[in-house]
Structure 1
Amino acid sequence: MTNVGLGLPIADLESLLAWARLADEGPFSTLGLLDRLVYDNPEPLVTLAAIAGATTRIRVQTEVLLAPLRSTALLAKQAATLDRISGGRFTLGLGVGGRVDDHLAADTDIRTRGRRLDEQMSQMRRIWSGLPLDTEVGPIGPKPFRPGGPEVLFGAFRPPALERVARWGDGFLCAAPVEWCDRLFRTVRESWSAAGRSGTPRLVAQVNVALGSTVDSARRNIADYYGKDAPWVVDRLLTTPEQIRDAVAAFAELGVDEVMLYCWSPDIGQVGKLADVVGGEL
């Protein structure tokens, strides 16, 4: 069975705990939150820690956290802490970030962001395992709830980045139209097998949604967030129950473990509407 999660809106920070509590009572598996630096959005690790404390069963997930913008040791400590205090309900979704202003603000080099992420993953896996960081720096706690660290998903599109899933991750987060995903999923599965990994990678899909009178608000929020790329994203916004059900079914046919319905309207009524769409009750 394919699980369905919710991506939380970023347009109304004060409403997020109410969203989370309501979603925790419904059919949803995960709450996701995106990441930017140069934008009016909440910092995801801080926010998800508050959400984990306000909920009891639903998972929390960065979707995706831009790791190269952050100090590696501190990120490892924050992720382990969130994994621990949530009782293992945390998934660390990671990406490299493609916006120049974010990297300028963080004083990081956008040209080497992929290489930096690989180096960060090597260090974070070492930290989460409890080993000393190096010959001069001892172990960095706390010990994660999940042995070896929280579940790690990578968001990516290009083959070199997709191969990172097999090298360092537990799965793949695909924020792309369903017609693109079969090829991307096959690439991830093939890389996984070629790397000699046991089992299969976890596959998570993400689509943008808005229902009812909130559609125009969602489109405005998308346009503000994505800027020059907004028309491409707005055109793919799912705005009817039928479109959402069809997308979930199509992803299920591709073997996806979870579909994240990302909400761009801050209207909390979306939680109940989407619960009805996916067969739950609130």
Structure 2
Amino acid sequence: MNVGIGLPIGDPTTLLDWARRADSGPFSTLGLLDRLVYDNPEPLVALAVLAGATSRIRVQTEVLLAPLRDTALLAKQAATLDRMTAGRLVLGLGIGGRDDDHQVTGIDMRTRGRRLDEQMAVMRRLWSGDPYGDGVGPIGPRPARPGGPEVLFGGFKPAAIERVARWGDGFLAAAPLSWAGGLFDTARRFWKEYGRDGAPRIVAQANVALGPDDVIHDARARMHAYYAFTGMPDRMTAGLLTTPAAIRDTITGFTDLGADEVMLYCYGLDPTQVDRLADVV
């Protein structure tokens, strides 16, 4: 089982410390959330900095809100980061669900799923080296990974999970252990229906905080603020894992469901959590 670290978004200046600790530990991936109308770092910019400060660990957007971005520019940014990291980029994509993020970019929320499908068709073509079209040539650079960086899709509804089989390489499941299994099965079913070889890569997510009371309190407060828009932040923070036993049990549970990787997402800023989580892993 691969285990990654989901980075906190509260203070970008701490992330280099987090990344270097994780790179020297047992972790497989660094993940970073995406919002626009929020006090968080822009993930592609931040992960580019972190990739330059590390040597082996993968960098993953989880999830990048692709419909908010220009398609050709996003394709070029992703290809550049993938090429310069020798294939360490994992591009986790989703459509987002916050009105304000879409309002400031002028994107109609009602068509964001369709827009993502259209974006994927263009980006797959560009990453393969084909012309953009309509008299416009190719857009480089060619990514390190043939056909483009690894693409994972997040979501909960069947239409979102179907996108995994149509355009992607795997599924990001930001769901608790108690009902993640059904989402995994749906992703695998669509994969077979589309005649894809093998199986989709399944990446699970658990929210964690490990350390003294002040670290756990900081994580709960920041997580509560992040999920305030849902109207049920208390329910979200109730699932925060705060003991080594709970974290180990959850990793084991996702392993039993067939997950390939578990991302341990942190909201508290203390970077020594990386060392404590390394001991758990």
Same fold by TM-score, threshold 0.5 exceeded? yes
CA distance in 1, matches of 2:253, 2:80: 36
CA distance in 2, matches of 1:78, 1:147: 16
Gaps (5+ residues) in structure 2? none
**TM-score normalised by L of structure 2:** 0.98
Following superposition, the deviation at residue 230 of structure 1 comes to 1.2
Task: Name the SS for the 1:63 alignment partner.
Answer: strand
Task: Name the SS for the 2:132 alignment partner.
Answer: coil
Counterpart AA for 1:146: R
- 2:273 is the counterpart of 1:270: yes
* 1:71-110 pair list within 5 angstroms: 71-110=70-109
Following superposition, the deviation at residue 269 of structure 1 comes to 0.9
* 1:1-282 pair list within 5 angstroms: 2-213=1-212, 214-227=215-228, 228-278=231-281
CA distance in 1, matches of 2:254, 2:224: 26
**TM-score normalised by L of structure 1:** 0.97
Between the two proteins, the alignment pairs up a number of residues equal to 277
Counterpart AA for 1:97: G
CA distance in 1, matches of 2:190, 2:218: 40
CA distance in 2, matches of 1:105, 1:221: 24
Task: For residues 228-258 of structure 1, give each alpha carbon's deviation from its aligned partner in whole angstroms, at most 9, with x where no partner exists.
Answer: 2311210100011010000000000011100
Following superposition, the deviation at residue 140 of structure 1 comes to 0.4
**Superposed CA RMSD:** 0.6
CA distance in 1, matches of 2:227, 2:178: 21
Counterpart AA for 1:247: T
Task: For residues 81-108 of structure 1, give each alpha carbon's deviation from its aligned partner in whole angstroms, at most 9, with x where no partner exists.
Answer: 0101111000000000000000001111
Task: Name the SS for the 2:171 alignment partner.
Answer: strand
Task: For residues 176-211 of structure 1, give each alpha carbon's deviation from its aligned partner in whole angstroms, at most 9, with x where no partner exists.
Answer: 001111110111001000000001100000110001
Task: Name the SS for the 1:64 alignment partner.
Answer: strand
Task: Name the SS for the 2:151 alignment partner.
Answer: strand
Gaps (5+ residues) in structure 1? none
Using the aligned pairs only, state the percent identity. 66
Off by >2 Å, runs of 4+ in structure 1: none
Following superposition, the deviation at residue 264 of structure 1 comes to 0.6
CA distance in 1, matches of 2:191, 2:20: 36
CA distance in 1, matches of 2:80, 2:179: 35
